[in-house]
Amino acid sequence: MVKSRMELLQGYWLDFQSNHRSLIATNDDLGEDYDPKRVYTDIEQEYVTAQSLLYDTQRQLALAAPDGTSGDHGSRDGLAPGVGHQKSASNRRPNVLEAT
């Protein structure tokens, strides 16, 4: 699930960049509410924050996975192939992104 959300986030980011460039290229008056530099910086910061949360969640799930699993090889955990796992799942945190 984390992997698919990372891919979705990446797609949204690429769409934003494309639309932002197109909007700026029109040279139309964008109004006072759309400062291109501020908007890009704000959205980029949100993207990086969301990406970091997803990477942290992916890492936590990898650490909490039971023995015998090895990442995304047929599993539904969304982890990248080759991600290591710990034996103990006692300190597993719930995935806060699943509720969204």
Token reading at 49: 């924050």
The answer to whether the CB of 57 falls within 8 A of the CB of 96 is yes
**Predicted confidence band at 32 (pLDDT cuts at 50, 70, 90)?**
confident
pTM: 0.61
Half-sphere exposure of 8 (CA within 13 A, CB side): 8
50-61 pLDDT per residue, tens: 999 999 999 999
60-93 pLDDT per residue, tens: 999 998 764 545 443 444 444 444 433 334 444 4
Summarize the confidence of residues 8-30 as an average pLDDT. 92
The answer to whether the CB of 79 falls within 8 A of the CB of 39 is no
